[in-house]
Amino acid sequence: MIKTQLKFSTKFIVFSVVTFVIVFASSISYCYGYLENENRDLLTTITTRIDQFILLFIAIAILLFTLMYSFYRFVLLKPIGILMSNIEHIKNREFDYLQIPSNDDEFDKIAKNIDHLAAGIEAKERELQYIAEHDSLTGLYNRYYFNNILNEKIVTTKKDHSLALVFCDVDNFKEINDTVGHDIGDHLLVQIAQRLTSLVGDKGYLSRIGGDEFMIILSDIDTYDRIYSFIHQLHGLFDEPFTVDHHYLQVTISSGIVITDSPQVDVTTLYKEADIALYKSKEQGKNKFTIYAEEYSAQIHERKAIFEGIHKAINEGCGEFFLLYQPKIATKDGKSIKGAESLIRWESKKLGFMPPDKFIGIAEDSGLIIELGYWIIEQSCRDFLKMRAAGIEIEQMSINIASNQFTSKGFLDRVQEIIEITQIDPKNMEFELTERIIADNDTDMLETLHALQKAGIHIAIDDFGTGYSSLSYLQQLPVNRLKIDRSFVIDIDKGGAFNIVKNAIVPLAKTLKLETTAEGVETKGEYQTLKLMGVDDIQGYYFAKPMRIDEFIAFAHKQ
């Protein structure tokens, strides 16, 4: 701006000097010529006083120049300087420093237009900044701006104080969207944000980082009691249901908390640890909170390694997996093999042998169990036919079906495809579904069950007694067998769950004309007691452990 004004001033001075030199020379020439022609004596007189004439002319010129420069300085240069200054402030986004010239002329109008333009730019920039820093749905801070706040709070947390990052999300939010629609889901998130805002207030910072996930910063914490008090208040916000467009929605949240007093910790680490703590809460069920501990990281790393191992093994053709078969023995003679249950096992090249309780849950949670489950079905069918070809007259092969496989798209088509590939008779197949799977599904589940029954496949309810099936509900289901859970079998000969099995489960099965199988039978006393109660089949270590197919065939030939 100063450089521009200096150039403007220099040009004006040069222009003024040149103008005055031209005027001066022209005037002298004119006067000299005129006086020479008209009156040489006067010319002589003026010539003798030329120095005085020059001084007078110079004085007049200086006075005129001063007046012109003053006009330029205050009427032209100052308003232009203000305009140039305003342009510079706009360039630097310094909207509070804008000035308006006091004179009511064209410069004033230009300045006002510039000021109006600047106000529009400032308003637009504030709007863009708000959009860049806030969530469009709830108006809370977004993840980008929340990161900046978290970075600042990590560095500025007072000595002997801690910072807590709370990561929470809504339990089963997808089901809400699927049931009542995404619009209702969005309105619910807005109401949740309002409740959270009322709790957090000026005690911390609140962000919606995406979907149904929220994060809260609590800084300068001097006691853990403050954190526990806040978390209990946080979960208490959801005791009352939400009303959204005449829908009454009772929802809960799960949360993970990480606490640090280190100014060197980075945001990525805090996010990761809070996410791990939230995952642990989800494992425990709904409406839970977990404070991060280092041992959780090792568990998560192990889960990640197992997930990657399962994924790789499936992509390579499931060669690392193999099936064991546990015989179902007829209770009446304790010898006849009526069927077999296939059980998946995994011998990983990288991780070694992995027990089922280590990897099956991860496969189910990740959805990998769907593709793995089809391999299990096909391999079980092939091995059943091998048993038949070896002269073993067993009736059925029982195959466990995971919940997300049973409800997956194309399940019936894939089963039919496997039947056609293996050429097994569907009546020789029995699908075992947990009681919870059946109870958690309604119309779609019933349609799938009836389609399986129509195809000739038998259905067994596994772990019966641990869920919440009612008699009226069971009557609607195309079920063929109840499998009595191991928890009812343990020490049944010494009391145990004797009355439950004798007076409830077995009579219920007989009333509904269902077969019964007791799982986990390990002693002679348990076997004899279940036999007296009228249980049809027995599975357990008392008769045989799960075996590979060759061992199973050899075992069957000895029976």
- Residue 206, domain member (yes or no): yes
Shared-domain flag, residues 118 and 164: no
Do 282 and 404 belong to one domain?
A: no
Closest CA to 291 of 262, 252, 254: 254
Strand 213-221 to 242-244 pairing: unpaired
pLDDT in tens, the chain (559 residues): 455 555 556 655 665 666 666 666 666 665 666 555 555 555 555 556 666 666 766 776 776 677 666 655 555 556 666 666 666 666 666 656 556 555 554 555 555 666 666 666 666 777 777 788 888 899 999 998 999 999 888 888 877 788 999 999 999 898 888 888 889 999 999 999 999 999 998 889 999 998 999 999 998 888 878 888 899 999 999 999 999 988 889 999 999 999 988 888 888 889 999 999 998 898 888 889 999 887 777 877 888 899 999 999 999 999 999 999 999 999 999 999 999 999 999 999 999 999 999 999 899 988 999 999 999 999 999 999 999 999 998 999 999 999 899 989 899 999 999 999 999 999 999 999 987 777 655 678 888 999 999 999 999 998 886 655 556 667 778 899 999 988 899 999 888 887 888 888 888 888 889 999 999 999 999 999 999 999 999 999 999 999 999 999 999 998 7
Q: What is the pTM of this model?
A: 0.62
How many whole angstroms separate alpha carbon 356 and alpha carbon 351?
13
From CA 462, how far away is CA 323, in angstroms rounded?
19
Q: Long-range contacts made by residues 545-550, C-beta under 8 angstroms, separation at least 24?
A: 545/326, 546/324, 546/325, 546/326, 546/343, 547/324, 547/325, 547/326, 548/322, 548/323, 548/324, 548/325, 549/323, 549/325, 549/383, 549/386, 549/387
Of 130, 155, 188, which residue sits at a domain end? Answer: 130
Q: Do 436 and 473 belong to one domain?
A: yes
User: What is the residue range of 216's domain?
Assistant: 143-292
**Last residue in a domain, options 130, 162, 185:** 130
What is the separation, in whole angstroms, between the first and last Cα of the chain?
Answer: 104
Q: Which amino acid is at 249?
A: L
Residues 549, 323 contacting (CB under 8 angstroms)? yes
Six-digit token string for 63: 């006075």
Contacts (Cβ under 8 Å, ≥6 apart) of 409: none
For the domain that residue 152 is a member of, what is the CATH number? 3.30.70.270
DSSP states of 403-457 as a string?
A: HHHHTSTTHHHHHHHHHHHHT--GGGEEEEEEHHHHHH--HHHHHHHHHHHHHT-
The sign of the torsion formed by the CA atoms of 22, 23, 25, 29 equals positive
For residue 85, being part of any structural domain is answered with: yes
Q: How many domains does the chain have?
A: 3
Question: Are both 286 and 325 inside the same structural domain?
Answer: no
In 3D, which of 251, 228, 256 has the Cα closest to residue 239? 251
CA–CA distances in Å: residue 408 to residues 152, 318, 389: 46, 20, 33
Say yes or no: 395 and 539 in one domain. Answer: yes
Question: What 3-state class would DSSP assign to 4?
Answer: helix
Residues 506, 483 contacting (CB under 8 angstroms): no
Contacts of 358 (CB under 8 A, 6+ apart): 306
